[in-house]
Structure 1
Amino acid sequence: MASQHVRVESTTTADPATVYALLRDGSGWPEFTPLGSYELVSAGTGEPTELGEIRIFHTGRFHAREQIVEMIENRRLSYVLLAGMPLRGYRADVDLEPTDSGTLIRWHSTFDPKTFGTGWLYRTQLQGFIQKTADGLAARATEVARDR
Structure 2
Amino acid sequence: MPYSYTVTAHSLAPPEAVFSLLVRPSTWPLWSPIDAAETEGGGDPGERQGVGDTRVFRTGRSVSRERVVELVADRLFGYENLGAPFRFYRGTVELAEAPQGGTDLTWSGRFEPKPRFTGRFWQWYLTRFMQRMADGLAAYAAAEERRAGAG
TM-score above 0.5: yes
**Structure 1 residue runs of 4 or more that deviate by more than 2 Å after TM superposition:** none
- C-alpha root-mean-square deviation of aligned residues, in Å? 1.2
CA deviations over 1:70-89 (Å, ceiling 9, x no partner): 00000001000012x31111
- Contact kept, 8 Å, 2:24 with 2:49, in 1: the verdict is no
CA deviations over 1:25-54 (Å, ceiling 9, x no partner): 1111001100010121135xxxx8522111
Please show how residues 100-111 of structure 1 align to structure 2 within 5 Å: 100=99, 101-111=101-111
Report the counterpart of residue 19 of structure 2 in structure 1: 20
CA deviations over 1:59-116 (Å, ceiling 9, x no partner): 1121000100100000001000012x31111000100010122100000100011122
Report the counterpart of residue 32 of structure 1 in structure 2: 31
Higher relative strand content: 1
- Counterpart CA distance in 2 for 1:39 and 1:17 is 22
In structure 1, runs of 5+ residues without a counterpart are none
Report the counterpart of residue 124 of structure 1 in structure 2: 124
Report the counterpart of residue 62 of structure 1 in structure 2: 62
Structure 1: which amino acid aligns with 2:39? L
> SS of 1:115's equivalent?
coil
Structure 2: which amino acid aligns with 1:69? V
Please show how residues 94-105 of structure 1 align to structure 2 within 5 Å: 94-100=93-99, 101-105=101-105
Report the counterpart of residue 112 of structure 2 in structure 1: 112
Q: 1:49 to 1:114 in 2, by over 3 A?
A: closer
In structure 2, runs of 5+ residues without a counterpart are none
> SS of 2:146's equivalent?
helix
Identity of aligned residues (%): 35
> SS of 2:40's equivalent?
strand
